Chain A
């Protein structure tokens, strides 16, 4: 699918929108949660350092020589293990002639190292935080506090390896992104399902339209969601209205034909009655009346079919149409004592078009066969790929192959002696073309003409 086609797809739009939203939500959630956790761990870290600092402060005293000492060593084993990551140190600050001295006391874990604290001068009792380089190059987070015991200014320092803080944060973030990834995947899957289920009525609407177009149904059928139902109802009413307009047009065309042909009948009969007195005029009138009648017949049949050939939703089962025509032919051509054989045809065979037009095409073919047959007519139908073919065979004298094309031209008659419009085959061929089918003439195995009408099949 091209990009333009994708942009035109409702499903693609819905899916793209949802996926973007899911990705953004997950990214923001992951980033925010990570940040929050990091802050929490950092706060914890400093709180722990501050607790150690408080303990150190509480244990701090001066010995007889006025040197600081701890009444009791802090209990955390990491403080007694060299370079275990947790350290403390007490510095004496410069004051009144005494020079400053770093690491008056320090934890065993510092071994022979001294924490190099940036120079700053916190007010007594205030706790300051710093990041410093520790033993073996590790980054340390540290807190310091200035205390003064009996006038001796001291700086108490507790520091811990930052890795103690970073490690749980990165472990948490790994698990967080994994969980969010799974969540995102689940949401994307849910979005896919939702879009698929949500647009399912559109697909069934499309299928219903296909059935109407294919002639299986006259109206859109099936239950649709309330959002689509008004559309379906409107469309159905348009279809109904269309059918009514066509029916009206047919009736009016029929009325017009009636209005024209009755006066033509009067004229022809009157001319015929005066035949003895003015033969020339009678012949002229009769000929002109015949021409007028042919014109009316031809254009009427064409106009009616042209209005309906592309009309969706029309479906005409073959069997009843053929049976009705055969009944009619047996009456109209009763005097000819013809044997009419309709070979059994599948009941499901149906023409994608109007009943009137099928009857007009087949009626003309069978009527033509009845006029020419000696004793027998055979009708058979079969289905091909989305096509139906109807064969009408007679045992008459047939049509020479070089005249067949001419027979399908408008207004050409092979034999003026046989009564009828002489336009039958031409009309049938024309209507078939309007429906995207065709009429073929060939030799019949019975000896006469085989007319094969190929038309679109209804599903």
Chain B
């Protein structure tokens, strides 16, 4: 799961990236409106944390441009502007949630998780696929009630697959959603993570769809 953090205050941006990473996501940071717009327009983010007061282009404009271009990723506005007038304007511009500064990191993460879950059409905080359960609140993965120990990358691959269960996910998709933008990507490493996951999970849970990618299939 990749998150775009748009925040012009460097210290807060770093704290946000740190908090988001600690929760098992990959974070990219944009420091101004123009960069944010470009990144959100070209990279497949699973969610965006968006400040409103930004240099070059304000957050509301960025958001409107994304929505006009058909970008549907969930957007959480995080701003100091907390009048209801601004909240209505933000939501009407296409935001999915609105959080005001100062905020508690836990609340921000809870809201982000809820946005990502709802974007995937999941109502519960626990995602279930056969014997596999992923608790988005605690980032815990268990099989038949037994907790699995996963590395960060393994968790991200599995979380993306379970958010898109019963869909074919290409290796390219996975690469884009588990690495940050400036990371030196190699889609072969995805195979390595899949291989490790298959050893930890019940067999046949992750299918290989030849020539297309992978699928986490819920048992019929």
Contacts and interface: CB of A to CB of B under 8 A. Distances in A.
Contacts of A268: 102-104
A262 B96 CA distance: 21
A264 B88 contact: no
Interface stretch (A122-130, A150-158, A192-200, A321-329): A321-329
B84 A360 contact: yes
B102 A261 contact: yes
B27 to A, nearest CB: 14
Interface in A273-293: 273, 289-290, 293
B69 interface: no
A432 B18 CA distance: 42
Contact of A360 (B12, B83, B95): B83
B87 interface: yes
Interface stretch (A134-142, A182-190, A330-338): A330-338
Interface stretch (B74-82, B157-165, B201-209): B74-82
B80 A262 contact: yes
Contacts of B105: 269, 272
Nearest to A331: B91
Interface residues of A, number: 42
A327 B92 CA distance: 8
Interface stretch (A172-180, A252-260, A405-413, A435-443): A252-260
B102 A332 contact: no
B118 interface: yes
A179 B101 CA distance: 87
Interface in B42-96: 53, 79-88, 90-92, 95-96
A325 B83 CA distance: 12
Contacts of B25: none
A360 B102 contact: no
Contacts of B88: 324-325, 327-328, 359, 363
A257 B53 CA distance: 11
A297 B95 CA distance: 22
Nearest to B125: A335
Interface string A236-257: 0000000000000000001101
Contact of A324 (B83, B92, B98, B103): B92
B108 to A, nearest CB: 10
Given A261-B100, A327-B91, A328-B91, 5 more contacts: A258-B79, A328-B87, A328-B92, A363-B88, A419-B107
18 contacts: A258-B81, A262-B80, A265-B15, A265-B101, A266-B12, A269-B19, A269-B105, A270-B15, A273-B15, A304-B83, A327-B88, A331-B97, A355-B85, A356-B83, A359-B84, A359-B88, A367-B84, A419-B107
Give 7 nearest A-B pairs by CB, closest first.
A363-B84, A261-B80, A258-B80, A265-B102, A324-B88, A359-B84, A264-B102
Interface of A: 254-255, 257-270, 272-273, 289-290, 293, 297, 300-301, 304, 324-325, 327-328, 331-332, 334-335, 355-356, 359-360, 362-364, 367, 419
